[in-house]
Structure 1
Amino acid sequence: MKDLILLGSTGSIGRQTLDIIRNNPDKFNLVGMSCNSNIELLREQIEEFKPKVVAIAEENSARIIKSEFDNLDVLSTSRGLCELVKYPADIVLNALMGISGLKPTYEAIISGKDIALANKETLVTGGQIIVDAIKENRVNLFPIDSEHSAIFQCLKSSLNSKVKRIILTASGGPFRGYSLEDLKKVKLDEALNHPKWKMGKKISIDSATMMNKGLEVIEARWLFDIKEDNIEVHIHPESIIHSAVEFEDNSIIAQMGTPDMRIPISLALNYPDRLKLESEKLDLFEIGKLSFERPNRQVFRCLDIAYNALKEGSGATIAMNGANEELVNLFLNKKIQFIDIQENLEILMERESFESPKSIDDIMMIDKEARAIVREIIGKN
């Protein structure tokens, strides 16, 4: 049985993780979990799974939960996440959104725990530092993003074989086929309506702009130690092939499955063994055909912004990620238009340069600076 700490228990990935734990009580023991503010759902989760410790971002909510559960350790504020991951456990599953996932991932690694990672910003911002920490502490990192889990599985099928390229698939999001003029008319509810996946608000917007795929390119670079020129994005509207790897003999191995995040979550938690899941069976006869397109990089410019940042260096990827988080939040609060996200990212990345970080604190400083600059750009426009 594995002892597990779950960061982000009330989000989409967190709830699906708890579903796996619920159906496999002989394999997983939930030691601790965290949430931001949804204490109503957290309360239900505590009653069902009986963890030893929880971390809650909002201090008043933490006091409420502490008053209701006598034998529960309750941590609060952002520092609470870093304290939570130090509790004894075998693996930490990070399902947090944004750069908030970086520090607790790092703390979990240096405390000797394996990582199941659904927080792509950890590697987008902390790539080299995180990779070095994993090697130094001799822990494992298992990807949960469906695309990176697919690549991980394909690589394991051909150990010691030279990789020619990685093919990252993308559904194309809700605006596949749109022109730039079409993007100028996009409304918030349209951007949140992903055609294939049920996700949180931030990742849904990133998918709509295709920044999510850009972040995945950067994540793949660090996960699989492969240069950006050998990572290609293919639009695959059916979302059946989750990604593929081409080897030096020109063979391509792909991983297929229905769009169900419980598949990569369960593999990350139980690797190298697979768990039985009660999920929709993949029926190739019903699907009929699989199609692929090149991404329209003239319309969805976030993809090239991410590639260029990766070539420029880790300072640029940190700044891009922080600015993107800030812009997405402004769009979610209806302060800017959808098209403004990529246009202001372009202004920032063309105008500024950022040095590579030497520490986690350096990363947080670059992130803060980029957010301030993009707010300044917005204020002038």
Structure 2
Amino acid sequence: MRNLAILGSTGSIGRSTLKVVDRFPDRFAVKVLAAKHSVDRLADQVQRFGPEAAIVFDAATARALRDKLPGDCSVEILHGAEGYCAAARWPTTDMVVGAMVGAAGLAPTMAAIEAGKDIALANKETLVMAGGIVTAAVARRGVRLLPVDSEHSAIFQCLQGQRRQDLDRILLTASGGPFRTTPAEQFETIEPARALRHPNWQMGAKITIDSATLMNKGLEVIEAKWLFDLTPAQIEVVVHPQSIVHSMVAFRDGSLLAQMGIPDMQGAISYALSCPERLALHQPLPDLTLAGGLTFEPPDLERFPCLGLAFEACRAGGTLPAVLNAANEVAVEAFLAKRLGFTGIHKVIQATMEAHANATAPDMETIIAADRWARGVAANLIK
């Protein structure tokens, strides 16, 4: 029995994780659930899975959650940054599913690692901001860091049983998002509702916008660097509109291994939870006879400059990836609130990066300071 803490339980990854748990009650137990403000959904999850603790963003949300639960519900309700870190360290758990969105996932992930918990990581921002610190802590504490993103799970699966010295490079696939064929001159008029209509995947709002700008793929490039100990030159991005090949690994003899499946996160999640065993999900295989062909094309960095900015941050290292991530979070939030145009996203990120004095080999305090600085600069640029 694996005892889980699910941080970000009301988001798309969290809900998919609970679907897996629901199908295998003899394999998994939920001890902790953490969300932000989705009180109704979290209350339903608490009553369905009976965790020992539930964590929310603030005291007002904690009171609202308690009011939604029956009087005999004994769940302990915590809130705030201290509550999220307590959730990550919860004594009865052995694995933490990190599915929080954005920089908020960094501190709980570090708390879980220091507490000796295995990590199933969907919060890519953790490694984008502080990959060197996180991976060093993982090695020092002897815990497992298992990828949940479909692309990184695919790479992880393709590397099983392979000799590391035979690796040449990895190829991360990208769907291309909803604007893969949209003329660049139309980008100025793109509204949030249109950008939120992803052609293949069901995701949260922030990640869906990141997919539309290809920033999601850029963040995955930086994440892959740390997950698999790669140089930026060993990471390639290819656009694959069908989203059947989830990613590929190239070896020095010229062979290529690909992991394929339908675009459903339960496969990647279940592998992270049960690795090296594969659970009997019985998901349908992709019907290659009906797919109409599998196509691949290079990303257009002129139309989607966010990907190029991410590669730039990946090559530079230091605090620049944290600055990239922070500026992107602020810009995407402004776009969703209709305070910034679609093309303004990459302009805000680029201007913030250009204004930053990069600090090499930063400690955690320096990274957090760079994140805070970038948020302020990006917010002022948007104003």
Letter in 2 for 1:136: R
Deviations 1:13-50 (A, max 9, x none): 11111111111000001110101011111111111110
2:179, 2:212 within 8 Å by CA — same for their partners in 1? yes
2:319, 2:362 within 8 Å by CA — same for their partners in 1? no
SS at match of 1:119: coil
SS at match of 1:142: strand
Shift of 1:359: 3.2
2:38 corresponds to which residue? 38
2:327 corresponds to which residue? 323
1:163 corresponds to which residue? 167
1:21 corresponds to which residue? 21
SS at match of 1:184: helix
1:124 paired residue among 109, 121, 128: 128
Letter in 2 for 1:81: Y
1:267 paired residue among 264, 271, 274: 271
Over aligned residue pairs, what C-alpha RMSD do you find? 1.3
1:357, 1:363 within 8 Å by CA — same for their partners in 2? no
Q: Name segments (4+ residues, structure 1) moved above 3 Å.
A: 64-70, 356-359
Gaps of 5+ in 2: none
1:257 pairs with 2:258:
no
2:247 corresponds to which residue? 243
1:86 corresponds to which residue? 89
SS at match of 1:81: helix
Identity of aligned residues (%): 43
1:228 pairs with 2:228:
no
Q: 1:352 and 1:107 mapped to 2: Cα distance?
A: 28
Letter in 2 for 1:98: G
Q: 2:316 and 2:165 mapped to 1: Cα distance?
A: 29
1:77 corresponds to which residue? 80
1:352 paired residue among 351, 356, 360: 356
2:204 paired residue among 197, 200, 207: 200
SS at match of 1:282: coil
Gaps of 5+ in 1: none
Q: 2:351 and 2:114 mapped to 1: Cα distance?
A: 37
Shift of 1:163: 1.1
1:48 corresponds to which residue? 48
SS at match of 1:242: strand
2:40, 2:65 within 8 Å by CA — same for their partners in 1? no
2:53, 2:77 within 8 Å by CA — same for their partners in 1? yes
SS at match of 1:314: coil
1:213 pairs with 2:200:
no
Q: 1:259 and 1:373 mapped to 2: Cα distance?
A: 37
Shift of 1:70: 4.6
1:66, 1:72 within 8 Å by CA — same for their partners in 2? no
Q: 1:366 and 1:271 mapped to 2: Cα distance?
A: 35
TM-score (norm 2): 0.96
Q: 1:356 and 1:86 mapped to 2: Cα distance?
A: 30
Shift of 1:60: 1.5
Shift of 1:354: 2.5
Q: 1:77 and 1:361 mapped to 2: Cα distance?
A: 20
Shift of 1:161: 4.2
1:368 corresponds to which residue? 372
Shift of 1:281: 2.5
